[in-house]
Amino acid sequence: MARWQPHAPERLLVAALELFEERGYENTTVVEITERAGLTKSTFFRYFPDKREVLFGGGAMTGLLVEGIDTAPAGAGPLEVVAHALDAIGREVFTADRRAFGARRSAVIAANPELREREALKELGLVAAMTDALKRRGSPDLTARVAAELGALAWKIAHERWRDAAGEDDFAELARRALTEVRAAGASCQRQAGSAGA
Amino acid sequence: MARWQPHAPERLLVAALELFEERGYENTTVVEITERAGLTKSTFFRYFPDKREVLFGGGAMTGLLVEGIDTAPAGAGPLEVVAHALDAIGREVFTADRRAFGARRSAVIAANPELREREALKELGLVAAMTDALKRRGSPDLTARVAAELGALAWKIAHERWRDAAGEDDFAELARRALTEVRAAGASCQRQAGSAGA
């Protein structure tokens, strides 16, 4: 019944993205996705609770981020720990061979309000997971929360640049650069007055 | 045809919240909401594009925040400007007489994935609107983005405390305190190393 299918989530993702591009998210059914992928409906629902989720990997990203935080060097500051987690994402998920695919995926999401909503909720979930992982390392509650928010912002900036870039920069490098910029922007936010234009 | 109905959005919100509490969001129709409010379906859709939106005020919050940013004193730093916007929200939206209602509304949203998704997307929209308003005042792009994210975080913390509090603190005061805490947490994130536990 639950026969193992090699690379089933990836095959379903590729099939779904093609169909969403061809006929729109609304006009595509789960059955059509599974037929295109050469898999069954029950395989689909073994991995994803609904049609939207196929674009969001069913939580794999959260696991990688948390593992990246857990395995960061002892004594690293909160933003260094976050950088370590973003490195892991660059190594495992946003690899050079997935860049064009990432751009197509982002375009499909941007075009559909339901997908944008799911993405927004996913983002909140990632921030919450990073916050919890930072707290387990000993960061105070709010420090962890701020570091996670700044990390998520660096992630978004890096991802925008990564998927749009014609260049050779890999995601981890873009994420480090974005985090440095976010850190500097955070420092300039700290100024109390007279700095709105600085 | 488009007869003006006094306080229509508020009446629809109250009716919707009651019904969502009584029978669940999924089991409530727009027609039932309008009947409970003594209004017509066309009045509902004049204010809100869909059933979910009735809980989110159709953009009024964004307008208030942006106005609060636009009217902050010249020369104020980005986070001071954000504090000014949160003051406006406390004055106009999260007033003492709406506290119990706010807690009920949050409970209904927390119980429903569709509503949580809409709330997550709203939050991204608010951050984007604050970012744009800060940029119009002259803040550099990323400084504006970070200040808006930190402002949204202070907002969330203040709102959690406001709706759960038995005390007398008003939202603006809670928001100022949360922003001070977020600012301090941001400063402690800036440390490069050896500070994960500090």
Q: Which among B80, B120, B153 has the least Cβ separation from residue A121? A: B120
CB contact under 8 A, B80 and A142: no
Nearest chain B CA: its distance from A191 CA (Å): 6
pLDDT band of residue A58 (cuts 50, 70, 90) is low
pLDDT digits 0-9 by tens, A97-132: 888 888 999 999 999 988 999 999 999 999 999 999
pLDDT band of residue B3 (cuts 50, 70, 90) is low
Instruction: Please state the rounded mean pLDDT for residues B44-50.
Output: 92
CA A50 – CA A47 distance, rounded (Å): 9
Q: Which among B76, B150, B153 has the least Cβ separation from residue A196? A: B76
- Domains belonging to chain B, first-starting first, are 8-53 (1.10.10.60), 58-197 (1.10.357.10)
Q: What is the pLDDT of residue B95?
A: 86
CA B156 – CA A98 distance, rounded (Å): 35
Q: What is the pTM of this model?
A: 0.86
- pLDDT surpassing 50 at residue B194: no
Report the residue of chain A nearest B157, measured CA to CA.
A142
As a whole number, the mean pLDDT across chain A is 89
pLDDT digits 0-9 by tens, B147-191: 999 999 999 999 999 987 766 788 999 999 999 999 999 888 876
A76, β-bridge pairs: B193
CB contact under 8 A, A145 and B138: no
Angle CA(A110)–CA(A102)–CA(A95) in degrees, nearest 5? 155
Q: What is the pLDDT of residue B24?
A: 94
pLDDT band of residue B196 (cuts 50, 70, 90) is very low
> Which residue from B181, B169, B8, B194 is spatially nearest to B95, judged by alpha carbons?
B169
Tell me the Cα Rg of chain A: 19
pLDDT band of residue A93 (cuts 50, 70, 90) is confident
Q: Chain A partners of B150 at a C-beta cutoff of 8 Å?
A: 146, 149, 186, 189
CA A113 – CA A53 distance, rounded (Å): 14
pLDDT digits 0-9 by tens, B95-111: 888 888 889 999 999 99
Of the listed ranges A14-28, A145-159, B88-102, the least confidently predicted one is B88-102
CB contact under 8 A, B78 and A195: yes
Q: Chain B partners of A112 at a C-beta cutoff of 8 Å?
A: none
What's the first-to-final CA gap in chain A, in angstroms? 63
CA A36 – CA A158 distance, rounded (Å): 32
The proportion of chain A whose per-residue pLDDT surpasses 70, expressed as a percent, equals 91
Q: Chain A partners of B143 at a C-beta cutoff of 8 Å?
A: 185, 188-189
- pLDDT surpassing 70 at residue B195: no
Which pair of structure tokens corresponds to residue A4?
A: 């193992």
Q: What is the pLDDT of residue B58?
A: 66
Q: Chain B partners of A79 at a C-beta cutoff of 8 Å?
A: 189-190, 192
Q: At what angle do helices B113-136 and B99-110 cross, to 10 degrees?
A: 120
Q: Which among A138, A140, A153 has the least Cβ separation from residue B145? A: A153
Nearest chain B CA: its distance from A179 CA (Å): 11
Q: What is the pLDDT of residue A197?
A: 42
Q: Which among B134, B140, B187 has the least Cβ separation from residue A190? A: B187
Q: Which among B143, B189, B195 has the least Cβ separation from residue A150? A: B189
pLDDT digits 0-9 by tens, A151-190: 999 999 999 999 877 666 889 999 999 999 999 998 888 7
Q: What is the pLDDT of residue A164?
A: 79
- pLDDT surpassing 80 at residue B6: no
Q: Chain A partners of B76 at a C-beta cutoff of 8 Å?
A: 193, 196
> Which residue from A188, A40, A52, A185 is spatially nearest to B77, judged by alpha carbons?
A188
Distances in Å between the Cα of A37 and the Cα atoms of A14, A58, A107, A178, B19 are 8, 17, 21, 36, 42
In order, the DSSP letters of A79-148 are: HHHHHHHHHHHHHHTS-GGGHHHHHHHHHHHHT-HHHHHHHHHHHHHHHHHHHHHHHHTT--HHHHHHHH
Q: Are A61 and A148 in contact (CB under 8 A)?
A: no
CB contact under 8 A, A78 and B196: yes
Report the residue of chain B nearest A193, measured CA to CA.
B77
pLDDT band of residue A192 (cuts 50, 70, 90) is low
Q: Chain A partners of B198 at a C-beta cutoff of 8 Å?
A: 140
- pLDDT surpassing 80 at residue B132: yes
Q: Which among B113, B134, B153 has the least Cβ separation from residue A146? A: B153
Q: What is the pLDDT of residue A1?
A: 45
Report the residue of chain B nearest A133, measured CA to CA.
B196
More confident residue, B59 or B55: B55
Count CA atoms within 13 Å of residue A32 on its CB side: 14
Q: What is the ipTM of this complex?
A: 0.83
Per residue, the 3-state secondary structure of A42-69, as one string, reads: HHHHHHCCCCHHHHCHHHHHHHHHHHHH
- Pairs across A and B, CB distance < 8 A: 141
- pLDDT surpassing 90 at residue A5: no
**Which of A118, A121, A149, A189 to mutate against chain B (most B CBs within 10 Å)?**
A189
Q: What is the pLDDT of residue A193?
A: 47
Q: Which among B74, B124, B134 has the least Cβ separation from residue A120? A: B124
CB contact under 8 A, B123 and A121: no
Helix, coil or strand: residue B102: helix
Determine phi and psi for B193, rounding to 5 degrees. Answer: -155, 165
CB contact under 8 A, B77 and A194: yes
> Which residue from A168, A171, A147, A149 is spatially nearest to A160, judged by alpha carbons?
A171
- pLDDT surpassing 60 at residue B94: yes
As a whole number, the mean pLDDT across chain B is 89
